[in-house]
């Protein structure tokens, strides 16, 4: 009897859930969208929203390749991953006319190399990847990637680097001034030697802990994403985010429409929803990056709008991570494995 | 009766002829959840890798070639033995082995202590051993990091006592990884040994003492043979999960070097996206674990003869 009751209650609640107008299934980064915003969309459009999360662009690709295509409507890949997914035929396209807020996209993010003409994607947030330094531990000039790759005595053994080959090897390449996806042997040997020599000075490799190690003081310097650094600062870490003279990584995360999306209409509604300045600003206030949408300024918290991490000096240089060809990528993989063997 | 069940003829008659049918659920379970995944892994390890994850259905030995043969950073040098992956495996095996020995050294006396208390006290001690394991492993590992970090309670305490002048750098060392593995898997050693010691008849120790056996000889010749199955089970239960552990190496060791677990994860989730190589590494790991278990099984049957 008890079992019967439980089953009926379960069936009832399932039935209630299914009575929402429709569904929307998101595949998103961890800690990247406020729950209130999802609730707001669900209430406004009477749509049941479900979300799974991933922790790297590569993990997103791996999950979709391993058979998750067709179960999600939208995903949020970074710039180079949009291109890879497009090349793999994983993205659906839409017409600008299908999104009433398409015109809200900032002009500079409208025609991007990774999705010319924005046929499959809209901007979500953009920011940079560089590093932050604890000013109580090191009080010298903060202007160069040498602080990570050839660190001064104060920082030796107290550095955390991101645990992804793409970000760490790209920053190393910027420091050496060699192009990304280089297949030049001398340059690759140089890159290999640089990270090999730097490794003894590094305390740890970690991406999801990048903020925590700076807050706790386990690391005195660490590669980090701009918004994560702002959050670490807000949590009390005496750190400064560095805009290195050699350059930094600039990235943009984008909402893409997946091929075989089970709820294409709701997916487009959600994209339109995210292009509303108020909603884009809600994401920015939460994640502390920068929206690629016009008119968000009036909705931003002042401390987010004025954060030093989101307002690089005019002469700061940034590059997008490039997707390398297979034979070149294999060499970078070998350098990474060699580094961690 | 062929079955020779201790219950006698009536029981074996009920089961007679129905054996295969009764085994069907077990066979189905093993087939679907054990044999099939392993078979898929085995097949994938011989396929051609697709760039950025996935496989192409062309047979090749490339994954095993990559594991065992070194052709230089650019892949054009004459092949020599590749030490990179063997080194990663060896490090993991060594670390798991050390964790097993540590767990045994602490776990055996602990189990002995508990088994020699009176019945009421025993259950309290067992309860205390298992309580921490109601908490998720990730949280326990992170807590361990909080305890031993430079500004953590352990260092603060030693500094306050004046034992040390500067904090001990414990986090991000091999010591921290060992500590994490030891702490994670200790109960897997204590519980089987406890079960074995509990069945030990202590009058045998008395008999040995009456026959002028030294306490060392009593331990070696009387106690160990009896509790050996518990020790072996405990060692396997600690060694096998330690071998694939990646939480302790990542969080406490700083992820500076690949362990078997993180190497395989990188092939599926990382930039390398090399599924056949990840599958091949899994198969090699599986072979090693099977080898350990076979040695155990052989030792068991020998012991029974």
Q: What pLDDT is recorded for position B200?
A: 86
Query: In A, which residues are within 8 Å of B151 by CB distance?
Result: 216-217
For A185, nearest residue in chain B (alpha carbons): B74
Q: What pLDDT is recorded for position B14?
A: 63
Best residue of B87, B155, B172, B263 to probe chain A, by most A CBs closer than 10 Å: B172
Q: What pLDDT is recorded for position B7?
A: 46
Contact A58 B172 (CB under 8 A): no
- What is the mean pLDDT of the segment spanning B260-286? 90
Q: For B226, how many CA atoms within 13 A lie in the half-sphere containing its CB?
A: 17
Q: Given this chain, do its domains A2-125+251-308 and A127-250+312-340 carry the same CATH topology?
A: yes
Domains in chain B, start-ordered, CATH in brackets? Answer: 59-304 (1.10.3720.10)
- What is the mean pLDDT of the segment spanning B49-69? 91
Query: In A, which residues are within 8 Å of B171 by CB distance?
Result: 203, 218
Taking the domains of chain A in order of start, what are their residue ranges? 2-125+251-308, 127-250+312-340
Q: What pLDDT is recorded for position B247?
A: 85
Contact A309, A288 (CB under 8 A): yes
Q: Which CATH number fits domain A127-250+312-340: 1.10.645.10, 3.20.20.70, 3.40.190.10, 3.30.930.10?
A: 3.40.190.10
Q: What pLDDT is recorded for position B11?
A: 59
Residues of chain A with pLDDT under 50: 1-19
For A328, nearest residue in chain B (alpha carbons): B74
Q: What pLDDT is recorded for position B10?
A: 57
Q: What pLDDT is recorded for position B215?
A: 84
A80 touches chain B (CB under 8 A): no
A263 touches chain B (CB under 8 A): no
CA angle A74, A76, A77 (to 5 degrees): 125
Residue A31 annotated as part of some ligand binding site: yes
The dihedral formed by the CA atoms of A75, A80, A84 and A89, expressed in degrees to the nearest 10? 50
A56 touches chain B (CB under 8 A): yes
Region of poorest pLDDT, from A7-21, A220-234, B87-101, B271-285: A7-21
Structure tokens at B273: 């996206």
Query: In A, which residues are within 8 Å of B75 by CB distance?
Result: 330
Q: What pLDDT is recorded for position A64?
A: 93
Give B229's strand partners. none
Contact B250 A58 (CB under 8 A): no
Q: What is the mean pLDDT of chain B?
A: 87
Superfamily (CATH) of domain A2-125+251-308:
Periplasmic binding protein-like II (3.40.190.10)
CA distance A205 to chain B (A): 5
Distance CA B239, CA A209 (A): 28
Interface of B with A (CB under 8 A): 51-54, 73-75, 84-85, 87-88, 149-151, 169, 171-172, 250-251, 254-258, 266, 268-274
Q: What pLDDT is recorded for position B209?
A: 84
Confidence of residue B202 (pLDDT cuts 50, 70, 90): confident
Nearest one of B242, B235, B225 to B296, comparing CA atoms: B235
Contact B302, B296 (CB under 8 A): no
Instruction: Say if pTM beats, i.e. exceeds, 0.90.
Output: no
Nearest one of A165, A212, A211 to A340, comparing CA atoms: A165
Q: Using CB atoms, which residue from B169, B172, B257 is nearest to A341?
A: B257
In A137-247, the DSSP E strands lie at 159-161, 202-205, 221-225, 239-242
Q: What pLDDT is recorded for position A4?
A: 43
Region of poorest pLDDT, from A89-103, B36-50, B106-120, B163-177: B163-177
Q: Using CB atoms, which residue from A163, A216, A334 is nearest to B73?
A: A334
- What is the mean pLDDT of the segment spanning B58-67? 93
In the predicted model, is pLDDT for residue B236 greater than 80?
Answer: yes
* ipTM for this model: 0.80
Q: Which residue has the tokens 């016009």?
A: A294
Computed on alpha carbons and rounded to an integer, the radius of gyration of chain A in Å comes to 22
Distance CA A254, CA A92 (A): 14
Q: Other CB atoms closer than 10 Å to residue B168's CB: what's the count? A: 16
In the predicted model, is pLDDT for residue B17 greater than 80?
Answer: no
Confidence of residue B107 (pLDDT cuts 50, 70, 90): very high
CA distance B258 to chain A (A): 6
- Chain B contacts in chain A segment 159-188 (CB below 8 A): 160, 163-166, 185, 188
CA distance B85 to chain A (A): 7
In chain A, the DSSP E strands lie at 22-29, 47-54, 74-75, 121-134, 159-161, 202-205, 221-225, 239-242, 248-257, 318-319
Contact B270 A203 (CB under 8 A): no
Distance CA A104, CA A293 (A): 6
Q: What pLDDT is recorded for position A21?
A: 63
Contact B274 A84 (CB under 8 A): no
Q: Using CB atoms, which residue from B150, B172, B271 is nearest to A58?
A: B271
């Amino acid at each position: 009897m008890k079992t019967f009751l439980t089953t009926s209650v379960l069936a009832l609640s399932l039935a209630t859930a299914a009575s929402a107008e429709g569904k929307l299934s998101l595949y998103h980064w961890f800690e990247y969208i406020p729950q209130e915003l999802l609730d707001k969309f669900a209430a406004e459009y009477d749509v049941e929203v479900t979300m799974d999360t991933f922790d790297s662009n590569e993990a997103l690709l791996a999950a979709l390749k391993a058979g998750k295509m067709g179960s999600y409507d939208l995903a949020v890949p970074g710039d180079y991953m949009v291109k890879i997914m497009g090349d793999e035929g994983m993205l659906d396209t839409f017409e600008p006319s299908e999104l009433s807020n398409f015109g809200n996209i900032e002009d500079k993010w409208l025609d991007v190399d990774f999705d010319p003409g924005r046929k499959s994607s809209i901007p979500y947030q953009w920011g940079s990847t560089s590093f932050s330094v604890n000013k109580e531990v090191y009080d010298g000039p903060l202007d160069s990637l040498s602080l990570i790759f050839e660190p001064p005595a104060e920082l030796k053994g107290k550095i955390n680097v991101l645990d992804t080959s793409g970000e760490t090897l790209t920053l190393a390449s910027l420091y050496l001034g060699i192009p990304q996806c280089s297949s030049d042997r001398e340059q690759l040997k140089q890159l290999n030697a640089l990270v090999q020599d730097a490794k003894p000075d590094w305390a740890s490799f970690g991406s999801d802990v990048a903020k925590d190690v700076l807050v706790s003081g386990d690391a005195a310097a660490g590669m980090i994403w701009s918004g994560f650094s702002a959050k670490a600062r807000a949590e009390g870490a005496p750190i400064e985010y560095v805009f290195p003279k050699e350059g930094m990584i600039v990235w943009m995360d984008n909402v893409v429409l997946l091929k075989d999306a089970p709820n294409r209409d709701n997916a487009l509604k959600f994209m339109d929803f995210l292009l509303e300045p108020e909603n884009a600003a809600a994401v920015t206030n939460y994640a502390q990056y920068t929206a690629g949408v016009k008119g968000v300024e009036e909705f931003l918290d002042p401390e987010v709008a004025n954060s030093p991490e989101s307002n690089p000096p005019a002469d700061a240089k940034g590059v997008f991570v490039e997707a390398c060809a297979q034979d070149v990528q294999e060499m970078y993989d070998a350098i990474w494995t060699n580094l961690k063997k | 009766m062929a079955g020779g069940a201790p219950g006698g003829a009536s029981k074996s008659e009920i089961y007679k002829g129905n054996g295969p049918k009764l085994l069907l659920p077990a066979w189905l379970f093993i087939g679907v959840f054990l044999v099939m995944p392993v078979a898929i892994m085995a097949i994938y390890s011989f396929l051609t890798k697709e760039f950025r994850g996935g496989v192409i259905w062309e047979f090749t030995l490339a994954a095993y070639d990559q594991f065992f043969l070194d052709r230089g950073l650019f892949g054009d040098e004459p092949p020599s033995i590749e030490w990179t992956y063997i080194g990663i495996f060896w490090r993991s095996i060594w670390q798991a082995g050390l964790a097993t020995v540590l767990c045994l050294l602490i776990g055996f006396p602990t189990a002995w202590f508990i088994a020699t208390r009176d019945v009421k006290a025993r259950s309290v001690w067992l309860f205390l051993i298992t309580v921490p394991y109601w908490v998720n492993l990730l949280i326990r590992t992170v807590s361990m990091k909080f305890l031993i970090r430079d500004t953590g309670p352990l260092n603060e305490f030693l500094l306050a006592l004046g034992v040390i002048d500067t904090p001990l750098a414990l986090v991000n060392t091999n010591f921290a990884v060992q500590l994490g593995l030891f702490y994670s898997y200790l109960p897997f050693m204590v519980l089987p040994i406890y079960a074995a010691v509990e069945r030990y008849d202590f009058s045998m120790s008395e008999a040995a003492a009456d026959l002028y056996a030294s306490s060392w000889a009593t331990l070696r010749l009387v106690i160990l043979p009896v509790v050996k199955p518990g020790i072996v089970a405990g060692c396997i239960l600690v060694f096998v999960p330690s071998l694939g552990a990646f939480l302790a190496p990542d969080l406490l060791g700083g992820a500076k070097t690949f362990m078997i677990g993180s190497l395989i994860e990188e092939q599926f989730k990382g930039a390398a996206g090399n599924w056949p190589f990840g599958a091949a590494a899994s198969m090699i790991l599986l072979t090693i674990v099977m080898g350990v278990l076979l040695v155990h099984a052989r030792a068991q049957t020998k012991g029974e003869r």
